[in-house]
Every structure is written in structure tokens, then in C-alpha cells.
């Protein structure tokens, strides 16, 4: 005599197992969401910190007269260039932004636009492979605003006016 097998038993999965699988999926989805939010927040903080550092350096340079100094800043991941462009005050457009756009956007006060960007187009400084950007800040006695240049073009004050030694 052969016993008939109960086919319903093969398809039955306990309620506890189904509930555990659903909880695991919910935890994984929540974890991915939390990590994405953390990364986005970290990028925003990095951009705000970069803008704050630029503003602080301009403020420091304004307190000194007849100075040229070079500073290196860390930029948020993904930024290829930082660009400066004159905008009318209260236009709602940033005068400092990143390429690609959307990572860094800010309004910086105290820039001498005539010296920084004489042609009126955007002035961009490239980011190096380490995610850093070098900017030189300068101000003369008669100026009330700071000139910004690419730090790669920086010439120390003690060498200004000297002929280059090509030996």
C-alpha cells in the first residue's frame, strides 16, 4: 500500500519565514535610502564648506593691504572646475559655480571683477587629480576688493619684477 502524499505541505511556507523575508527587504531598502541621504548631505556640506573657505580667505585678504597669497582648497567630489563670473547684484544668479553645475553655487562678495575677469566671460580654475584647487588672492593699497587668479599662475611676491633664471 502506498500512502498518498499531502501536496499542500510542499507549498506551505511558515508565516514566520515570510515575515522575516519582508523585514529583511524593508531593512535593506531603508539602509540604501539612508546611505544615499548621507552621501547627498556630505556633498552639500562639502560645497558649503568650500564656499565658506573662499569667503573667509577673501575677508582675510581684504584686511591686509598690498598682498598676494596662494591657498589650496579641497572641493567636493565630482567637481572638474570652479568658475567665477560677474553677475549683477540681486540677480539671483550665483557668481561662483562648479562644472558640472549644481554641486557648488554661491554668491561671493569682495571680488575685483575688472582684474579677475577682464573679458567679462566666465573665469574657471581646474581641479587637480587629488580633488584640490589652487587659488591666488591679491589686493593693492588702493583696492577695496580682491583679485582672484589661478594658483598655478602664482608668482611669489619676492619674485615679482625679477627676470626668470632659465639656467
Please write the tens of the pLDDT for every residue from 38-66. Answer: 988 888 888 888 888 888 988 888 888 78
Could you read off the pLDDT of 7-19 as tens digits, one per residue?
Answer: 555 456 688 888 8
Give the model's pLDDT for residue 99. Answer: 83
Sign for the pseudo-dihedral over CA of 9, 11, 15, 18: positive
State if pTM tops 0.75: no
Amino acid at each position: 500500500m502506498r500512502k498518498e502524499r499531502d501536496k499542500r505541505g510542499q507549498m506551505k511556507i511558515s508565516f514566520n519565514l515570510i515575515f522575516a523575508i519582508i523585514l529583511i527587504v524593508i531593512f535593506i531598502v531603508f539602509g540604501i535610502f539612508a546611505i544615499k541621504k548621507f552621501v547627498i548631505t556630505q556633498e552639500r556640506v562639502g560645497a558649503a564648506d568650500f564656499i565658506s573657505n573662499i569667503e573667509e580667505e577673501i575677508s582675510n585678504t581684504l584686511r591686509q593691504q598690498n598682498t598676494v597669497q596662494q591657498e589650496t582648497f579641497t572641493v567636493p567630489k565630482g567637481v572638474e572646475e570652479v568658475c567665477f563670473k560677474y553677475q549683477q547684484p540681486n540677480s539671483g544668479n550665483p557668481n561662483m559655480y562648479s562644472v558640472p553645475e549644481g554641486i557648488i553655487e554661491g554668491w561671493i562678495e569682495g571680488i575685483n571683477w575688472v582684474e579677475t575677469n577682464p573679458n567679462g566671460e566666465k573665469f574657471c580654475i581646474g581641479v587637480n587629480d587629488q580633488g584640490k584647487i589652487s587659488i591666488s588672492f591679491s589686493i593693492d593699497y588702493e583696492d577695496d576688493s580682491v583679485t582672484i587668479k589661478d594658483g598655478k599662475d602664482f608668482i611669489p611676491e619676492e619674485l615679482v619684477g625679477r627676470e626668470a633664471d632659465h639656467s
